[in-house]
Structure 1
Amino acid sequence: MQNSEDPFVKKWKKVREKGLLKHLISTGLSFGILLFVVLTAWNYFVSEQSYETTYEFLIQLLITIVFGGGLYALITWYLNEYIYKKKVKQK
């Protein structure tokens, strides 16, 4: 199989054409929301700690979405770029 037929190469080529900003928004937001839901459930069910104020809730929401999701999106972007360039170079 040639590298141009590789499913990863095809998919990542489409993603990278959209750009880093779109990847940050779509992937980062998705992962950030998932992370927030998991952490909120953990706080509620396991640690039996709930938010005392709306402010605490919003702060955790902001931190998990912006930093958790953003960091995840950046890491996946650069790792996928590395893999993509390596596979394309192997032609």
Structure 2
Amino acid sequence: MEKELLINENKQKKPFLFKLGIGLLIFYPILWGFAAIVPFIPFPTSIKATIITACIIVGEIFFLIGVAFVGKEVVTKYKSKLNPKNWRKKNDRQQ
């Protein structure tokens, strides 16, 4: 009976962590995009440098935590889909 409770408890926690991991992986490129836009904002250079550095560091931390929550296999699957080298292969297979 105790094992069943532990299994049910683990099943309830996993989907939340999975969704959180996916959310962090989605937020990761947004931070990198924001870091690319910051140089064009009219702030002093020191503030721009701080914001860009913070975006890159926080983005990488979010990526690593997201990979830990989602799993390496899922990340590898989505990275292969986002790789432009694989886009043409998919179109050739469909024809």
TM range (shorter): 0.3 to 0.5
Larger Rg: 2
TM-score normalized with structure 2 length? 0.42
* Structure with higher RCO (Cα < 8 A, 6+ apart): 1
Larger relative helix fraction? 2
